[in-house]
Amino acid sequence: MTTVDQSLETTVSLPSLGDSVEECTVTRWLKKPGDRVEHDEPLLEIATDKVDTEIPAPCSGTLTRIIADENDLVPIGAALAVITHAGHETPSETPLPSRTIVADAAEAPTAAVTEKLPPIRRTIARRMLESLQVSAQLTTVVEVDLSAVSRLRGDHKDEFLSRTGVKLSFLPFFAKAALDALPPHRMLNASLNTEVTEVTYHSGCHLGIAVEGPKGLMVPVIRDAHAMGIAQLAGAIADVADKVRSATISVDELNGGTFTITNTGSRGALFDTPIINQPQTGILGTGAVVERLVPVRDDTGAFRIEARPMAYLSISYDHRIVDGADAAGFLGTVKQHLERGFTAADLAG
C-alpha cells in the first residue's frame, strides 16, 4: 500500500465555465495515473452543452488518482482528480473506459460498428428536438438577385483581402442586409419566455453564426452586430469561425444570441429549413449563390433572358409570435437591401 502525505496533495476541481453552465461531461483524460504533469498542462477534456474545452493542471506533480471517469456528468466545483507533489509514490493504475464495439463474430468482416455518441452530438440532438417540441416552426423562402453585390465583391475582394487579411464572401453582405432589416421587423429579434406569457424585443442584435466544427455544429455570437459594417462583420465572422474550428471558442462566446444565420450554401445547398436556436424567434438560412437564367425587363418594358447570380434565402420562424406576413415582410426587406446593393464605402472600416 502506498502512503501519501496528504499535505502534498492537490485536488483538481471543475472550474466555473460561464454563468449559464452548471455541469459538464468528462470526455477524455489526457493523462493517466502515474503520469507526470506540469503546471497548466492540459489534463483532461470536457464537454458542455455549448463547447468542448480542456482543463489544465493547477500545479506540477504526479497524477495519482482520477475521481471522475470519462463520460461522467459532473457539476461545477466537483473533484476531478488528485495530483501529488512528491515524486516517490507508485500509484495503482485506474482503468479508463474504452470504446466498445459489438459485432457478430460470424459476420466480423462486414459487421456494423455500435460507437457511443459523443457528448457534443448528444447535446445537438437534444437541443434540436427540444426546439421543435417547444415552438411552432414554419419556413418561408424567397429568391434574391445578387448581381449588384457580386459586382461590388468582384471589384474589391482582392483589395479587401490585402487590406484586412479576410476573404470577402457573400456571408457578411447577407448578415448586413438581415441586421438592417431586423429593426422594422422586431418580432424576429425577440425571445419568448417558457410560459409563453411574455416576449422580449431586443433593441440591438447579438448575431449567432452557425459554424461546423470538428466536433459538431456550434453557434458563436457576434456581440452588437447591428452596429457593424460589412468589413467588421467579415472580420468577426472569420474570427469566431476560426475559434470554433480550432476548438478555442469560449462558453461565453456561445451565449446570448438574439438572431441566427446559418450559411448552408457554403456546402452547395440551395436552401434548407433550419431549426430555431431557442429561445430566439427566427433563423435565416442562406443558400448557395448560383448562375441562373432569369427574365429581365428592360427600360422599354420588353423581357430578355440573362444569366444572374441568384440565391435562395429562407427564414424559419416561431409561429407563436411571428406571422407568415411578418416573415415574408422581413425577407422582402432583406431582398431589397441585397438587390439595391452596397457601395465601396460600405466596405471601409
**What is the reported pLDDT for 224?**
98
**What is the reported pLDDT for 344?**
94
Report the SS3 class of residue 206. Answer: coil
- Report the alpha-carbon distance of residue 155 to residue 153 in Å, rounded: 5
Contact (Cβ atoms closer than 8 angstroms) between residue 275 and residue 131: yes
The DSSP secondary structure of 35-72, one letter per residue, reads -EE-TT-EEEEEE-SS-EEEEE-SSSEEEEEE-S-TT-
CA distances from 291 to 43, 196, 265, 294 (A): 51, 43, 14, 9
- Report the alpha-carbon distance of residue 322 to residue 312 in Å, rounded: 20
Per-residue HEC secondary structure of 246-303 comes to: CCCCCCHHHCCCCEEEECHHHHCCCCCCCCCCCCECEEEEECCCEEEEEEEECCCCCE
Pick the closest to residue 210 from 127, 142, 332 (CA basis): 127
Cβ count within 10 A of residue 89:
16
Enter the C-alpha cell of residue 130. Answer: 427540444
* pLDDT (tens digit per residue) in 75-87: 999 999 999 976 4
Report the SS3 class of residue 341. Answer: coil
DSSP state of 7: G
- What pTM does this model have? 0.75
DSSP state of 95: P
- Bridge partners of 29? 44
Angular region, 222: left φ>0, alpha ψ -120 to 50, beta rest: beta
- Report the alpha-carbon distance of residue 43 to residue 29 in Å, rounded: 6
CA distances from 112 to 99, 103, 106, 117 (A): 14, 7, 12, 15
**What is the reported pLDDT for 19?**
67
What radius of gyration do the chain's Cα atoms show?
A: 25
In the chain, which stretches have pLDDT less than 50?
1-5, 87-108
DSSP state of 347: G
Q: Which residues are catalytic?
A: 319, 323
Cβ count within 10 A of residue 285:
24
Pick the closest to residue 213 from 234, 240, 173 (CA basis): 240
Name the pairing type of β-strands 73-75 and 42-47.
Answer: unpaired
- Report the alpha-carbon distance of residue 48 to residue 26 in Å, rounded: 9
**What is the reported pLDDT for 256?**
94
Burial, 254: exposed, middle or buried (Cβ in 10 Å; 0-12, 13-18, 19+)? Answer: buried
**Maximum distance among all alpha carbons in the chain?**
96
